[in-house]
Chains A and B, each alone.
Chain A
């Protein structure tokens, strides 16, 4: 009787331990599988912060109001600002635009399309150590002036170019 109980008791322990070990192993395997599943995506915590998005400047309907909302000053045309845009854009939905400058102390770059429903297309704050250069693709509703703005020191400089659009990119 005693010995039977003892055997049971002894038996129970390894059983529990084995179950525990098994569970731990399973959990580990699952965690490993989960990790392997997400590893190719390399998801990190989202750092993009929408609260700093300059809503007012983006909702202005004229180019002058957008510039005022963004910088609060009148830009000076400068040949040190380079705006690289095509003469003719066959497809207004995808117009490659690049902006760069040889100016020093650049704090911000902005790109505006005068004839778009909301002229401000993009705004890039430039932290120290980042080159004052950006290239991307914009939509253009129709033939329009494209303006590049560079905030440098306490001034704002600009360059502009007329881009002819054959097919509008805002639905029309």
Chain B
């Protein structure tokens, strides 16, 4: 199984710009399926980005974040070639994580 996360982190001198895409249904709990039954809420609650053992970005998400969520942010203090760890946990306790290299 491939990872649910795709991440691209590009360093431009001092600042590292990170873009990540996660494959997740992000069901809000308000949508009905073809039979008219409500699809129960299923969404990512927390996304955590870590560099050198330190949190550089945390996202707390509600069900209003779109399906297959996208996130972009930037931070300082990392160098080209450093590892950047991203992990998420959803409201059902499922998780996934990925280690990427800063380009």
In the complex, how many residues of chain A place their beta carbon closer than 8 angstroms to a beta carbon of chain B? Answer: 45
Whether the Cβ atoms of A50 and B15 lie closer than 8 Å is no
Can you give 23 A-B contacts (C-beta < 8 A)? A41-B3, A42-B99, A43-B96, A44-B85, A44-B99, A49-B48, A53-B45, A94-B66, A113-B64, A118-B63, A121-B61, A122-B60, A126-B57, A129-B76, A130-B73, A133-B74, A134-B72, A135-B70, A136-B72, A137-B66, A170-B30, A171-B30, A171-B31
Q: Find out whether the CB atom of A131 lies under 8 angstroms from the CB atom of B15.
A: yes
List residues of chain A with CB under 8 Å of any chain B CB: 41-50, 52-54, 58, 93-95, 98, 113, 116-118, 120-127, 129-131, 133-141, 169-171
Q: Is B79 an interface residue (CB 8 A)?
A: no
Closest to A96 in B: B70
On whether A170 and B97 interact (CB within 8 A), knowing A118-B62, A124-B57, the answer reads no
In the complex, A127 Cα to B50 Cα: how many Å? 11
- Separation in Å of the B70 CB from the closest CB of chain A? 5
Interface of B is mostly: strand
Do A93 and B67 touch (CB < 8 A)?
yes
A23 vs chain B, min Cβ distance (A): 30
Main secondary structure of the interface of A (DSSP, over half): loop
Size band of the interface chain B makes with A: 35 or more
A124 touches B69 (CB 8 A): no
Inter-chain CA distance A95–B65, complex, in Å, is: 9
Which residue of B is nearest A98, CB measured?
Answer: B72
Determine if B98 and A124 form an interchain contact, defined as CB atoms under 8 angstroms apart.
no
B69 touches A48 (CB 8 A): no
Cβ-defined contact, A124 with B74, below 8 A: no
Is B32's CB under 8 angstroms from A129's CB? Answer: no
In the bound complex, CA of A72 to CA of B93 (Å): 29
Q: Is the CB of B65 within 8 A of A137?
A: yes
